[in-house]
Structures are given as structure tokens and as C-alpha cells.
Chains A and B, each alone.
Chain A
């Protein structure tokens, strides 16, 4: 089972590899990837350097080209595929059917992974990607329970990758327009959810307020930790009840599922967080490396180390972690 770590820049990429990642995934410096943030990602020069660093150490590089190609800009997505292939990427992570078609036709020998943004949640959908684009891997959205993942893993004609740790997207990825409804920009079209340029913080008599494009997302009392106003993690009012109507600020953490995921033949566990710092990448990669290695030695007696959980909780939103949809009760 591969440990796949995020890298938003060259230092993070090196840190990931140095701390035990088997592979890293990165994005190019434009809107062709789902973490299109200022100051993040790889230009052509950095891309080549990153590829060299990874390959010299016998590890793998995945390039995410996983937003949906714009009607008047399809060439940009094709160019991104060309560039990634040119520097010798080991895999392309793609969501758009047109882009997949292009990659499969032009570069049949370069691995194609179906991005989480393509919302592939069942066997027939996996077959669709296998039949049409001969894909090598499918990344499952964070909406399935462990039982459902197991069922899919048993029958899937394509190896599966799952999300293991990081910010928790609670909607089926690629099928969420909440951000564009509120701001005009969404992960699918722009590569960002709840974009920073629409965020406003304001001290008021009632507490610290966070707003997204002027909509009040949350209001914090003095003793509360204020988090980034991702719109699905605010407190809202449903018939007079004020609560986290969609989700609390929390992160996914599946350390305890490692033996199960390994037993079902999941080929890769993915760490979320290309937007996070090299320090985050270092801690997460190190912890997950230790956990996976210990499970490989003896999966039957595998137990999650309290120190690992503490390290990961400190890196999590609101210092809280959850098993998310893997655990049916969360649903």
C-alpha cells in the first residue's frame, strides 16, 4: 500500500519524499488543478526539478490535472497533460472526460488515475472509466463507508486509492456547487472552494465574524477557536436551531483503518493538503510511514499509537479528527 503525499511546492515535495512518501502529487501553476491558490504549485522549471528529485530517489510523481476544462480553454488542459508527460510524470490524475480522452489517446502508456473530483462511487461508474479510457486507478470520493469500499475493492476491475487524512470534504467531490453559489467560483471551474479573496474577518460586539462574499459563515465567542470559513463548516440557523448544519471544522483521520484497507487491497492511501506547509507534510508523512510500516510487519496486532493521533490532531481543523463517511454513524 503506497503512501501518497501532497506537495504544494518544491520544499514540501522534498520533505514528503525525505519523510517516507512512496509518491507525491502536485499541481501546475494555473487553474487546471483543484488547489489553485496564490503562491502554490509548480511552474515548468520547478516541475522538472521536482520530477528529478522524486525519480532520483526511486519514488513516484503524480500530476493532478483535475478541474474541468473550460469551454473556451480546453487547450490549457491538454497543454497541462503534455507538460506533465514531458517531465516524465508517473501518473496523471484527471477528472474531466474530455481531458481523459485526450490523455488516453495521445499517451496510452502514461498511467491515468481517475481523480476524486470525478465522483466515482460504484462499480458501473468504474467500468465506464475502464472501458473508455483504460484507466489504471480510481480515487474514491470521501462519501463511502468502509463496507462499501470493501465491496468495491473486491469487485473493481481497477485498483483503488482512498483518502486517508486531511481536510474533510463532506460532499461528493466534483458534485458540489456551494462555493460558486455563494461566490461565483467553485472547485470544478476555478480550482478553489470558498476562495480566500472572498473571506472577510470582522470584530463586532457579538464576537469575531467570518464572512464569505458577505454571507455570515460563523461568529466566534472569545473562548472559541476561529477557523477558515469554508462554507460547509460554519454555523447556521435551521428553524431556530443554530449549529454546524452541514459539518463541524474537523479533519479526516483513518489511521485505525490501515489494517482493513491493506487487507482489502487498496493500492494507495492519499494525504490531503497541497495547500499546507512543508512542516505539515513532514509530520503527516512521518506518522503515516511509521503506521503503515508497523502494520506491514504485523497487521493482526496493529494498534494506533496515541502519539500518532496527537500529532495528527494538532495538524487538523479545530484539532478534531473523524472517520467521516467510512464510519456509518457519521453519515
Chain B
């Protein structure tokens, strides 16, 4: 089992990003994903900066470095940037939209299919493998049983060795993408006049019910879970079903502690009690995502 640090989904000042990845160099992660996946207006780091940072990490560590790409691409300019990231020459790419799949296929390069690619079954997995996919991260709303079924089918069809399987296991879940920027809206502004306000909310903005129940996190055009997903108690199960990589999302520097905890859990399993007002694991158990099984 390997452990990965997923891309940071929030918008941080450049110096904070750089500091975070300096820490990441010394973390226990085997794989580091980095790059902007949410909004093309977030330009504290531009494509060349992300690639530069990626190469620095690749040079200074033995970790595998992967460039994560945007999920909702709407303009030709965004596609130009996407092509630049895809055709980077040395770093593996995580595709989060079929546009990136198409580009990687044209380049004849392998890629990771990220969580926003809708792969719900074996037939779709086969389509993606044909395109060059070498690693698959299933959509976050799917359950352990669902994954187990697909992995078993892949074994039956002798294609299990064609891809690695990664599971989003800790952090705020990316749940939805919109044309509208909800952070700008929360400041009563339109997206075209957003003033890059996401940078003022390094953990997004909590959206609660009127009874104070935490429901979602507003992160620009992305809506996230208000509770952090936590599959710490499912590590043995993930291992048994043949999952290759456990992903910890780069929510904050707490992710580094979580990487250590997940690794320890594999060698020395302990029962952890999840805090129902902060954590969730419902998706894995095929119940409401926000609940704890």
C-alpha cells in the first residue's frame, strides 16, 4: 500500500503553498499531487510555477510527483493552459475532465483518472484504460462494496494489472462544481468581480443550516463536504480488496499527521472513534455521505 497527498483544493497565497510543499518533501507521502483543480482565476501559481514546483519536488525527493488538472473547463484559454500542463515532458498527469483524457491520449501518454471523471463501472474503466489510464481514483460518492465489485470484475477479465486503484480516504470531499462562484456570492459579488476573495478563506466558507448544522463548505465554484471524510477504520478493508493507494487530501498541514496515522493504521490497526460533528464516512458504507456508519 502506498500513501498519497492529494492536491490542495483551496486557494492559498504563493508563499503558503511553497511552505506547504517544503513540508510535504519531508512527509511520509509516497506520491504528491499538486496543481489547481478548481478555478482558473486562481493564479498565485501559474502553470509554469506548478510545473517548476513539481520538478523541484521530484528532484529533491524519491516521491512520485503528479500534476493535477482542472475539473470544469469552459474557455479556450483554459484548454491552452491544460495542454501546457499535460504536455510537460516528465511529470505524470491527473486528468479531472475528459478534455485532459483526450489530450493525454493524443500525446500517447499515461494518466491518472481523478475523482471528477465519471467512472462507475468496468466498461467505463476499460474505455479509460484504452485511452492510456494507468491509475484510477473512483468518484467519491461510491461505496466500498461498489469498488469491490469492480475490482473483482477486473480480476475476472484479467485487466487488474493494467491500473492502480487509489481511494480518497481523508479530507473535505469535493462534491460539486458550478458556473457560479459561491464564495464571491457570499461577499455579494459576481464571479467576474470576485477580487480573488477565495484567498481570504484558506479552509473555504462553512455553510450551515439555520439550526447550526454544518452542511457544506463553499470553495469558489466548488462545493465541498462540511465534514472531513475519514476512512481510517477501513484501512484493512482497503488493503484486503487490493486498493493500491490511500489518498489524504491536502486540506491543511494536518494532512501530514493524517498520512502518518494512516500508515500506522496499516501496520498496527486500532479502532478510531469518529467525531460525528466533524467527520464522516457514509459514502463508503452506501448511506448518506455526511453520516458516520
Residues of A within 8 A of B (CB): 68-72, 74, 95-99, 101-102, 118-125, 127-129, 131-132, 142-145, 148, 151, 170-172, 174-178, 180-184, 186, 188-189, 213, 215-217, 219, 235-239, 241-242, 245-247, 324-325, 328-331
Contact = CB atoms under 8 A, between A and B. Distances in A.
Interface string B79-100: 1001000000000000001111
B210 A184 contact: no
Nearest to B223: A178
A199 B125 CA distance: 35
Given A238-B206, A241-B186, A70 B79 contact: no
Interface string B205-222: 111111111011010000
A74 B179 CA distance: 32
Query: Chain B interface secondary structure, helix, strand, loop or mixed?
Result: mixed
| Secondary structure call for the A interface | mixed
Given A96-B124, A215-B213, A177 B175 contact: yes
Contact of A215 (B75, B142, B209): B209
Given A171-B223, A328-B190, A101 B123 contact: yes
Interface in B94-150: 97-103, 105, 116, 118-128, 131, 139-142, 146-147, 149-150
Contacts of B190: 328-331
B181 interface: yes
B123 A121 contact: no
Contacts of A178: 175-176, 216, 223
B133 to A, nearest CB: 11
A216 B126 CA distance: 41
Contact of B127 (A71, A98, A177, A219): A98
Interface string B168-203: 000001011111111001100011100000000000
B123 A74 contact: yes
Contacts of B218: 238, 245
Interface stretch (B14-22, B66-74, B263-271): B66-74
A239 B75 CA distance: 33
Contacts of B44: none
A219 B223 contact: no
Contacts of A189: 120, 141-142
A122 B79 contact: yes
B283 interface: yes
20 contacts: A71-B149, A96-B123, A97-B123, A101-B126, A118-B118, A121-B97, A123-B79, A132-B131, A151-B76, A172-B179, A174-B118, A177-B141, A182-B288, A188-B118, A219-B210, A239-B206, A242-B210, A245-B207, A246-B180, A328-B191
Given A69-B123, A176-B177, 19 more contacts: A69-B120, A74-B122, A97-B118, A97-B119, A97-B128, A120-B98, A121-B73, A124-B100, A145-B179, A171-B177, A171-B223, A172-B177, A181-B141, A181-B288, A188-B141, A236-B209, A329-B190, A330-B179, A331-B190
Taking each of B180, B225, B288, which has the highest tally of chain A beta carbons within 10 Å of its own beta carbon? B288
Chain B contact residues (Cβ within 8 angstroms of A): what range? 35 or more
A325 B191 CA distance: 11
B289 A177 contact: yes
A303 to B, nearest CB: 27
A23 B100 CA distance: 33
A125 B74 CA distance: 10
Given A128-B99, A238-B186, A148 B75 contact: yes
A161 to B, nearest CB: 17
A127 B102 contact: yes
